[in-house]
Amino acid sequence: MTENPFSSFNIEMPKKYDDQIKSYCMTGGGSKSREQSPFDRQVDFWYSAFLLSVKYKLAPATEKDTYNVTPATILSTDSYRITHIQAAYLAITEDFEGLAENKKVFDFAIGMANAGIPKLLQILSDTDQKPLWNILDEVEGGLSDHGKAV
């Protein structure tokens, strides 16, 4: 297992999206139908929002009114996420020295995820079909866009 340099931090998301986010998570009081609540946990939602913001090259968002989702020790469970966060930080900021500053990298991850939350909520709430199918369509579209400028 990869050491978790973010274990002393907390994953934070904007309070204004709290109810919406929880409705798409199985553990957050969602509908308990996988089609309606495609994410197991809020951290999975958060990480997906992070990935979307990287894909769409969004600028990190600064949110003042946030809530503590969970300690970042949870990232140890899926340690590849730590590597993805560090790689995205390096690719986007080109700040190799900053990579050694765990708080700086984690703040970047929080900002990127918070920037991606509105986009992820938009995708999930598409009224044409259920949230699970909406996110799968996004993934499939991303795969078919492979090699094309987004």
Q: Kindly tell me the burial class for residue 117, based on how many C-beta atoms sit within 10 Å of its own C-beta (0-12, 13-18, 19 or more).
A: buried
- Specify if 98 maps to a domain: yes
Provide CB contacts within 8 A for 150, sequence distance 6+.
Answer: 55, 56, 57
Residue 14 parent element (H or E)? strand 10-14
The domain containing residue 69 runs over which residues? Answer: 10-144
- Specify if 75 maps to a domain: yes
Question: How high is the mean pLDDT of the chain?
Answer: 88
- Specify if 1 maps to a domain: no
What's the pLDDT score for residue 109?
Answer: 97
- Specify if 150 maps to a domain: no
- Specify if 52 maps to a domain: yes
Q: Does the reported pTM lie above 0.95?
A: no
Write out pLDDT tens, residues 93-124: 999 999 999 999 999 999 999 999 999 999 99
- With a cut of 50, say whether residue 62 has pLDDT above it: yes
* Residues 60 and 111 sit within 8 Å (Cβ to Cβ): yes
- Specify if 4 maps to a domain: no
- Specify if 17 maps to a domain: yes
Instruction: Tally the domains of the chain.
Output: 1
Residue 111 parent element (H or E)? helix 102-124
- Specify if 65 maps to a domain: yes
- With a cut of 90, say whether residue 3 has pLDDT above it: no
